[in-house]
Amino acid sequence: MPHSAIQKIETLANQYRVDDGRHFRLKDLDPEDTADLQSKEKATELLTSGVQRLSEMQEKLYAQDRWALLLIFQAPDAAGKDGTIKHVMSGINPQGCQVTSFKTPSSTELGHDFLWRTTVALPERGRIGIFNRSYYEEVLVIRVHPELLQNQRIPDSLVTKRIWDERFEDINGFEKHLSRNGVVIRKFFLHVSRKEQKARFLKRLREPQKNWKFSASDLRERNYWEDYMRAYEEMIRNTTTSHAPWYAVPADNKWVTRIIVASIVIETLQSLNLHFPEVTPDQKKQIDHARESLSSEAEQ
């Protein structure tokens, strides 16, 4: 990758990280921000280089088999989660990557604690795991619609005014546990404007090939826009940490979103000092022997 591209990627990775959750405010962010990228074409060119770099590092991550990378995506409907995952991870070997989308909990999932269904989907060492929505739904949709807590059958005495603070504590403790066991966590909030969401919904309705993407529930949830924005803000304020930081990524321009996310993943993998496993003296002897054996083998 050209040195100039590396510099740009490092700049983008640091620019959108939420380091101080206490003072985080969504109104301070511009969802139309273009990250000082000169054009969509320039961003696409940079993304192509980034995807190649990701492919190279993912191979080392897989071979080294020491770290796991967990990428969590949270956003309003139509913010571009699916497209971002598709484009950024387009060069990744499928053997080393798994994507899990979390929908409405099943009856089996509701029979367990709120972290259970995501825990069983965590990536193995050497792999990249992607959560399209996650346990953070428990402090988002459940907070906006607290009546849904009844479905979880939690004892009444445990559902107090502190339940959201307690869930933040549980999430922070869970992510600390993961980080202490070699799971590197990066969390992305794709910040799309209400205006842009409307435009994308209308596009889904007007273009027959996009009709399948529309759900009536998307429109219903749009009526709770302000409630969701407050919930997202509280979520980020209370759960951005040094070991599991949030990145608030502008999402009105998809080409901007994709290169920012790619830059963050690249910067994260670069920080792990990944390398192919070193060959021991005994393994070197076996390799030399195998090479000699194959080289001297008579052609059939």
Q: Determine the pLDDT at residue 39.
A: 85
Q: Determine the pLDDT at residue 43.
A: 87
How many CB atoms neighbour CB 128 within 10 A? 25
Average pLDDT over the chain reads: 92
Q: What's the pLDDT tens digit per position in 257-281?
A: 999 999 999 999 999 999 998 888 8
Give the residue numbers spanning the domain of 49: 3-296
CATH of the domain at 257: 3.40.50.300
Q: Determine the pLDDT at residue 299.
A: 62
pTM here is 0.92
Give the distance, in angstroms, between the CA of residue 273 and the centroid of all CA atoms in the same chain.
21
- C-alpha span between 48 and 46 (Å, rounded): 5
Q: Determine the pLDDT at residue 37.
A: 86
Q: Strand 128-132: give its sheet, edge to edge.
A: 17-18, 246-250, 183-191, 68-74, 128-132, 97-101
Sign of the CA dihedral 213, 219, 221, 225? positive
**DSSP-derived secondary structure letter, 244:** S
User: What is the residue-wise DSSP string for 133-182?
Assistant: S-GGGGGTHHHHSGGGGGGGT--GGG--TTHHHHHHHHHHHHHHHHHTTT
Q: What are phi and psi of 277, to 5 degrees?
A: -55, 140
Number of domains in the chain: 1
Sign of the CA dihedral 26, 12, 262, 36? positive
Query: Residue type at 142?
Result: I
Q: Determine the pLDDT at residue 165.
A: 97
Query: Do residues 259 and 47 touch, judged by C-beta distance below 8 A?
Result: yes
- C-alpha span between 142 and 105 (Å, rounded): 12
Which of 72, 58, 151, 74 is CA-nearest to residue 107?
151
Task: List the pLDDT tens digit at each of the 300 positions of the chain.
Answer: 555 665 666 678 889 999 988 899 999 999 999 988 878 888 888 899 899 999 999 999 999 999 999 999 999 999 999 999 999 999 999 999 999 999 999 999 999 999 999 999 999 999 999 999 999 999 999 999 999 999 999 999 999 999 999 999 999 999 999 999 999 999 999 999 999 999 999 999 998 888 888 888 888 999 999 999 999 999 999 999 999 999 999 999 999 999 999 999 999 999 999 999 888 888 888 888 888 888 888 665
